[in-house]
């Protein structure tokens, strides 16, 4: 009788447990939360989603969009105005400058003997 109750009790206990959340990698969960926060911050700063993607290339685009969309809905529901960003967009990196080194052909070689 007891041997039959133990599996049933374990099944009931584990049925209410979110095993996937317990086994999730904490770094992955943190990256997801950061990406959503980035999207929300971009929306509050009145940046377009494309600018947000450009400024945060390492963040997951789908999670950034989800955070942006959630913040947009929150701001509309609570009639919150965005605050314009004061940080300028990063400039595109300049093309590397090629250095040209010219050798003088008129100078004699230092190792040669004069005749």
Q: With cut-offs at 50, 70 and 90, classify the pLDDT of residue 81.
A: confident
**CA 30, 35, 39, 41 torsion: positive or negative?**
positive
pLDDT at 66: 92
Whether residue 112 has pLDDT greater than 70: no
Top-confidence residue, 105 or 30: 30
How far, in Å, CA of 11 to CA of 5, rounded?
10
Element (H, E) at 96: none
Q: With cut-offs at 50, 70 and 90, classify the pLDDT of residue 29.
A: confident
Answering whether pTM is above 0.75, one says no
Q: Which two tokens stand for residue 94?
A: 């300049």
pLDDT at 19: 65
């Amino acid at each position: 009788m007891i041997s039959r109750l133990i599996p049933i009790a374990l099944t009931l206990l584990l049925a209410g447990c979110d095993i996937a959340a317990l086994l999730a990698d904490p770094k992955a969960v943190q990256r997801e939360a950061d990406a959503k926060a980035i999207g929300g911050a971009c929306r509050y700063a009145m940046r377009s989603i494309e600018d947000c993607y450009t400024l945060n290339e390492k963040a997951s685009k789908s999670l950034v969009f989800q955070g942006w969309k959630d913040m947009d809905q929150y701001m509309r529901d609570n009639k919150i105005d965005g605050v314009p960003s004061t940080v300028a967009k990063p400039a595109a990196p300049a093309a590397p400058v090629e250095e040209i080194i010219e050798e003088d052909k008129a100078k004699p070689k230092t190792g040669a003997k004069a005749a």
